[in-house]
């Protein structure tokens, strides 16, 4: 190996959040890192819930470490699925194992739970939050939010199909023709588009809504119908206070349209999340009342309060026969593929971070500047500082 090769040790601890089944590095990516010259250490059982035995890591050239404290002290760079606010209950135990100069890369919930960063700063840890990756082409292959949204959109449809008392596809049988399920997807981001694709694959009639009319083409290219609002702008124009009235009119019309489409749907999947904020309520209790018994709502925004007024995170609520499902940590239910994608994301991030065998905090690189949370005892991320009132 050349002198250009990093001689860094990356450590992968077992995830400690209850119900978290993913692992930050799968054996195949561990092997790729080792080929690049890294040492890779894995805490015993770290991959087990995702289906990867210690043996698979050993075969890939990694070292298994049974003592978590030892793993942290051996490692230059710690790769986790969840650190800081993304693991609020348990991250402080890891703080005790961290020391100045260690680099941690993980999901951190940087905007919703920024208080957790004070501990990392105090320890002198260099912490990166992958949620803050800029949405630029160069960062696409590191984009954990997209990866996990792909998984979530797929699984949301399976959860809905499993809960529905009807089948998704139209079936022409000797016992008559069965109508296909009507599926309505709210929000056509990565999760929404994957949900559209999956529901179409299963044979449902799919419609979708998004505030951004620009996604219409994407929805249609997947075979979905884009639901449009007919806004009677004529009426609004005659009134005073144009902009404000227009706003109210817009939201009223939106609610009306939503109520109508939701009442006709067998399945509603909501995917509207605002980073770091409480999710907007798009499906009211009243709209749920308009749904038929046996219909199903899957609320992918459940961890941030939900898009449906009745959603409870991690539970299935029955409201007059309508099931409202809040699938907590949904990506952990497909831990193998989720870990595979996450591994790829985090190692691509790592490759960009390390130059000539050392961590290189190049603040000219927006990938690094946007995701860097703490460094040399300080919380440095501008948006996080603003939320914490540190400006």
Point out which span in 64-72, 89-97, 207-215, 344-352 binds its own copies (CB under 8 A). 344-352
Is 371 in contact with 97 (CB distance < 8 Å)? Answer: no
Handedness of CA 246, 262, 150, 384 (dihedral sign): positive
Binding status of residue 362 toward its own copies by CB under 8 A? no
Catalytic residues: 135, 140, 143, 146, 242
Size of the site for its own copies (CB under 8 A): 46
CB nearer to its own copies: give 76 or 299: 299
The two most distant CA atoms of the chain are separated, in Å, by: 75
Binding status of residue 164 toward its own copies by CB under 8 A? yes
> In angstroms, rounded to a whole number, what is the distance separating the alpha carbons of residues 165 and 176?
17
x-or-dash string of contact with its own copies, 287-306, rule CB under 8 A: -----xxx------------
Q: Which of residues 76-115 bind its own copies (CB under 8 A)?
A: none
Measured from the Cβ of residue 277, the count of other Cβ atoms closer than 10 Å reads 11
Binding status of residue 25 toward its own copies by CB under 8 A? no
Is 308 in contact with 320 (CB distance < 8 Å)? Answer: no
**Both tokens of residue 25?**
């590095």
Q: Which of 116, 195, 202, 384 binds its own copies (CB under 8 A)?
A: 202
Binding status of residue 351 toward its own copies by CB under 8 A? no
Q: Which of 41, 80, 87, 198 binds its own copies (CB under 8 A)?
A: 198
Q: What angle do CA 388, 352, 36 make, to 5 degrees?
A: 135
3 state DSSP class of 105: strand
Contacts of 25 (CB under 8 A, 6+ apart): 10, 12, 33, 40, 42, 79, 339, 343, 346, 347
Q: Which of residues 37-76 bind its own copies (CB under 8 A)?
A: 50-51, 53
3 state DSSP class of 371: helix
Is 47 in contact with 81 (CB distance < 8 Å)? Answer: no
> In angstroms, rounded to a whole number, what is the distance separating the alpha carbons of residues 296 and 60?
43
Binding status of residue 172 toward its own copies by CB under 8 A? no
CB nearer to its own copies: give 201 or 225: 201
Binding status of residue 319 toward its own copies by CB under 8 A? no
User: H or E segment at 358?
Assistant: strand 358-359
Handedness of CA 269, 271, 272, 276 (dihedral sign): positive
Binding status of residue 334 toward its own copies by CB under 8 A? yes
Q: Which of 283, 344, 353, 373 binds its own copies (CB under 8 A)?
A: 344
CB nearer to its own copies: give 34 or 56: 56
CB nearer to its own copies: give 71 or 145: 145
Binding status of residue 196 toward its own copies by CB under 8 A? no
Q: In angstroms, what is the minimal distance from the CB of 165 to its own copies?
A: 4
CB nearer to its own copies: give 169 or 276: 169
Q: Which of 4, 136, 170, 171 binds its own copies (CB under 8 A)?
A: 171
Measured from the Cβ of residue 253, the count of other Cβ atoms closer than 10 Å reads 14
CB nearer to its own copies: give 146 or 279: 146
Binding status of residue 140 toward its own copies by CB under 8 A? yes
Binding status of residue 178 toward its own copies by CB under 8 A? yes
Point out which span in 76-84, 228-236, 301-309, 329-337 binds its own copies (CB under 8 A). 329-337
Q: Where are the alpha helices (DSSP H) in the chain?
A: 27-35, 54-59, 68-74, 91-95, 117-123, 144-163, 190-201, 216-221, 233-237, 242-263, 285-289, 335-353, 366-371, 382-387
Tell me which residues touch its own copies (CB under 8 A): 21, 50-51, 53, 140-141, 143, 146-147, 150-151, 154, 158-159, 161-162, 164-167, 169, 171, 173-176, 178, 198, 201-203, 292-294, 321, 333-337, 340-342, 344-345, 348
């Amino acid at each position: 190996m050349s002198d250009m090769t990093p001689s860094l040790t990356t450590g992968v601890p077992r995830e400690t959040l209850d119900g978290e089944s993913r692992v930050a590095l799968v054996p195949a990516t561990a092997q790729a890192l080792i080929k690049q010259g890294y040492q890779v250490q894995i805490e015993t059982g770290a991959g087990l819930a995702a289906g990867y035995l210690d043996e698979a890591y050993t075969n890939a050239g990694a070292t298994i470490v049974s003592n978590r404290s030892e793993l942290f002290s051996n490692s230059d760079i710690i790769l986790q699925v969840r650190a800081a606010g993304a693991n609020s209950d348990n991250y402080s135990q890891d703080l005790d194992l961290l020391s100045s100069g260690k680099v941690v890369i993980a999901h951190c919930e940087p905007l919703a739970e920024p208080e957790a960063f004070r501990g990392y700063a105090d320890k002198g840890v260099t912490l990166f939050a992958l949620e803050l990756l800029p949405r630029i082409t160069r960062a696409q292959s590191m984009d954990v939010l997209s990866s996990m949204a792909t998984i979530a959109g797929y699984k949301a449809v399976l959860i809905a199909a499993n809960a529905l008392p009807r089948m998704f596809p139209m079936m022409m049988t000797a016992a008559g023709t069965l109508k296909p399920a009507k599926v309505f997807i709210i929000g056509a981001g990565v999760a929404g588009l994957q949900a559209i694709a999956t529901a179409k694959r299963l044979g449902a009639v799919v419609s979708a809504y998004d505030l951004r009319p620009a996604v219409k083409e994407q929805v249609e290219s997947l075979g979905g119908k884009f639901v449009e609002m007919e806004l009677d702008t004529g009426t609004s124009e005659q009134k005073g206070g144009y902009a404000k009235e227009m706003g109210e009119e817009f939201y009223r019309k939106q609610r009306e349209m939503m109520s109508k489409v939701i009442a006709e749907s067998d399945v509603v999947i909501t995917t509207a999340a605002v980073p770091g904020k409480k999710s907007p309520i798009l499906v009211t209790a009243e709209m749920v009342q308009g749904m038929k018994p046996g219909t199903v709502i899957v609320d992918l925004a459940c961890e941030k309060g939900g898009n449906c007024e009745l959603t409870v995170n991690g539970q299935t609520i029955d409201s007059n026969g309508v099931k409202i499902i809040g699938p907590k940590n949904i990506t952990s239910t497909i831990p193998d593929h989720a870990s595979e994608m996450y591994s790829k994301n985090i190692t691509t991030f790592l490759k960009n971070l390390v130059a000539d065998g050392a961590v290189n905090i190049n603040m000219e690189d927006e990938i690094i500047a946007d995701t860097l949370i703490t460094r040399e005892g300080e919380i440095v991320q501008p948006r996080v500082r603003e939320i914490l009132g540190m400006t």
